[in-house]
Amino acid sequence: MTPTRDPEREKIRLEELKRKVHDEAYLAGAIQRIAQVMSAEIMEGYGAAYGGRKQGL
């Protein structure tokens, strides 16, 4: 199902995002969340548990 476009809602959302881009606290939080997600994905890729690599035989 494809959502219908609502130009007025898109305009409001765009204005909200423009304000957030200039908010240092918002950007710092967004960067922190991105770093946490990327770190978790990297650790999963290594099969890490408690910060260590999975031991293979």
Average pLDDT over residues 36-46: 87
CA angle 33, 38, 44 (to 5 degrees): 130
- The whole-angstrom separation of Cα 10 and Cα 31 is 24
Residue % of the chain over a pLDDT of 90: 60
> In sequence order, what are the beta bridge partners of 52?
49
- The whole-angstrom separation of Cα 39 and Cα 43 is 6
Helices 24-46 & 7-21 angle (0-180, nearest 10):
90
- The pLDDT tens digits of the residues spanning 23-39 come to 999 999 999 999 999 99
pTM, two decimal places:
0.56
Statement: residue 57 has pLDDT above 70 = no
- The whole-angstrom separation of Cα 20 and Cα 41 is 26
Statement: residue 2 has pLDDT above 60 = no
Average pLDDT over residues 11-15: 95
